[in-house]
Structure formats: structure tokens, C-alpha cells
Amino acid sequence: MMMTLSLKPSHSDRTVMNSHKNSTPLPIGKISSELREIYHSDEIQAEKAMETYLELMLKGLSSDEKRAGMEDILAVFRPATIAPDDTPAEPDRLDDLCRFFSLLLGHDVPTDKLSSSELMQRLSDSLNTIFNSLNELVSAINNSITRDISPDKTIRQLISYHLGDEHHLQELAAYIGRIKHTFLITQEAYKMSVQTIVDNILKEFDPERIQSESPGKFGFGAIKKAQYYDVFEKKYGKYRNWVESGRFMESFLREFEKNCHNQSKSLNNL
């Protein structure tokens, strides 16, 4: 079932009865919302996932019912038609958009070379880039640093909740705040990890430690220095191999992950 959907904003989703003779009621609003979520969660692999979802939702229907259902679903994603008399004049729309952009960006946007539809498309592209990047960032944070940020809610969902209820603004602010919180955790964990690894190396090369590990307890002058140098040379070879073999990075990452976890727990308990 190959298909192409335009997932740009259109008229409001709704549950409708297919208008065809053999139609079957389908939850069009639910289906369109799920399709948008599938698309935005992974745009590269979205086509196959959307096809699988539609096959599941249309399963058991006749060919006519499937065709009618698909037409109703596609209708949701088509731009809404507005009667000519109801179409706002382009200058009025541009004025409204200019005020909106001024509120959003904090400065005026030049509109002499762009139509209102072009401005909206550019804003949509910019916001989608931001939202997709934030979702990827949150996924990377949860997979590598901490799981403090809920993977069940995306930035798009939280903004949608706020548009429906002003009380969700705090939830949106908390979501962004957790990203900042994670970077603070990462910074502290990194400093602690470097300090721990370097301290361990310095302890190994401490002259008193080398002296205690030298084979001879007695000796004078050049003999004792030679014994110390032998111990130093062995330690140096050991640590050089540790670095070159990749075990140094493994040790550092283990220490870093441990400190991330500990820092996350301690900051959450404040």
C-alpha cells in the first residue's frame, strides 16, 4: 500500500462517517493524529511504519470501505478550502503575521519579498528542525547519560497540551529545564572523572611508591637510581599500553557513567 501524505497543518481532525454508500465509520481524528506522531517520531522510516499502521486500522474492511476510509483520511491532510468571500486580504494576513513574528522573535521580520504562505512555510520548517533536534537530543541523553527526561512525551506534545490548557506551561518549562539539568550533571561528572583518573596515575608514579616497589632495599647512588628507573620504566610501559589498547577510555567512560548516575541522584534529592 504505497501512499504519500502531506503532514502539514490543515483543518481540524475529526471522527467522520465515510460519505460513500458502503462506508464504515472510522476514528479519522485518532488515525490522523497517530499518523502525524509516527511521521514526526522518525521521518526517515515513517513511510513503512505508516503503511503498517494503516493496514492494521483498515483490516477487515471491504475494498470499497478501505477506499472510502483512505479518502477520508487523506482529506484531513489536504489544505482546507476557504470561500473566496471569506479569504482574508493578503495585506491583512501579512500584518497579522508580522505582529506574530515580532512577538515570537523579538524583532520585525522583512516581508517585502515573501507572501504570507511562504512566511508560514519557513516558520514551519524552522520549528520542525528545532523540535526534531530536541527529540534527538533527549533520546541521546536518555541512552547515554541519564533517564531523567521522560521519553513518553515529545516537545510537540507538550506544546499541544499547553495550547489546550495554560497550566501545561509549567510542564513545558520543566521539560526544557531537565535538558539544562543534564548538562550540569555532565559537566560535574566529567570533571570528577578526569580528576579520579589523573589522581590514580599520579599515585602510581609517586616517587615514594616507586621506591617502595623497587626490588632492593639496600643500595647506594647509581645502583639505587637504576633500581628506581627499572620500576619507573615498567610502570610507564604498563600505562602506555593501557592508553594505546583503549582500556584507558573504557575506564574513563565507566567512571564518567558512574559519576553521571551519582550526580543525577544527588541533584534530584536536593
The band of 119, judged by pLDDT with boundaries at 50, 70 and 90, is confident
Tally Cβ neighbours within 10 Å of residue 73. Answer: 22
Q: Give the pLDDT confidence score for residue 19 in this predicted structure.
A: 40
Distance CA 83, CA 101 (A): 27
Number of domains, the chain: 2
**Cα 105 to Cα 45: distance, rounded to the nearest angstrom:** 33
Contact of 111 with 94, CB cutoff 8 Å: yes
Query: Three-state DSSP class for 6?
Result: coil
C-alpha cell of residue 221? 647512588
pLDDT tens-digit series, residues 219-265: 545 666 777 788 888 888 888 888 888 888 888 888 888 888 787 77
Q: Which of 80, 110, 135 is where one domain is finished?
A: 80
Owner of C-alpha cell 507572501: 115
C-alpha cell at 201: 596515575
Please write the tens of the pLDDT for every residue from 50-93.
888 888 888 888 888 888 888 888 888 776 554 444 444 455 67
Q: Is residue 188 part of a domain?
A: yes
Domain end among 80, 101, 120? 80
Query: How far apart are the C-alpha atoms of 141 and 147, rounded to whole Å?
Result: 7
Q: In whole angstroms, what is the distance from residue 192 CA to residue 186 CA?
A: 10
Cell numbers 543534564: residue:
182
In a domain? residue 165:
no
8 Å CB contact between 129 and 152: no
Answer yes or no: are the C-beta atoms of 136 and 20 closer than 8 Å. no
Give residue 5's domain range. Answer: 1-80
Gap between the Cα atoms of 74 and 56, Å rounded: 17
In a domain, 116, yes or no: no
**162 domain residue, yes or no:** no
At 190-212, the pLDDT tens digits run 888 888 888 888 888 888 887 77
